[in-house]
Amino acid sequence: MTPLSKDRDGKSRRSEAAPRGDSKKVTSRENPLVALDIAQLRQTHWQDLLIRFIFGATISVAAGIVGSTLGAKVGGILLAFPAILPATLTLIAKEDGGQHLFHDLQGTVAGAFGLVGFGVVAAMTIGRLNVLVALTLALLAWCVVAGTLYLVWATWLRRRGVKL
Amino acid sequence: MGGTFVVAFALVGSVVKPKRFAGLFSAAPSVAIANLLITAYSVDVFETHQDARSMIVGAVAMIVAAVLGLPLLRRLSALRTASCIAGFWFVTAAIGYVVVLR
Q: What is the pLDDT of residues A74-87, one digit of tens each?
A: 989 999 988 778 77
Determine whether the interchain pair B48/A56 forms a contact, defined as Cβ–Cβ distance below 8 Å.
no
The span from the CA of B35 to the CA of B44, in Å, is 12
Determine whether the interchain pair B69/A76 forms a contact, defined as Cβ–Cβ distance below 8 Å.
no
Q: What is the pLDDT of residues B22-72, one digit of tens each?
A: 889 989 998 899 999 998 988 888 889 999 999 999 999 999 999 999 999
Contacts with A, B 36-65, CB within 8 Å: 36-41, 45-63, 65
The span from the CA of A103 to the CA of B22, in Å, is 9
**Three-state DSSP state, A86:** helix
Chain A positions touching B82 (Cβ under 8 A) are 85-86, 89-90
Whether the Cβ atoms of residue B57 and residue B101 lie closer than 8 Å to each other:
yes
What is the CA A143 to chain-centroid distance, rounded? 10
Determine whether the interchain pair B56/A131 forms a contact, defined as Cβ–Cβ distance below 8 Å.
no
The span from the CA of A20 to the CA of A32, in Å, is 19
Nearest chain A residue to B30, by CA:
A56
B14, B26, B101 ranked by CB distance to A73: nearest: B101
Smallest CA-to-CA distance from A105 within B91, B8, B2, B62 is with B62
Backbone angles phi, psi at A129, to 5 degrees: -115, 170
CA B88 to chain A, closest CA, distance in angstroms equals: 11
- Predicted-complex ipTM score: 0.93
- Kindly report the pTM of this predicted structure: 0.84
pLDDT computed for residue A118 by the predictor:
97
Q: What are the Cα distances from residue B71, in Å, to A79, A130, B60, B76?
A: 25, 42, 19, 9
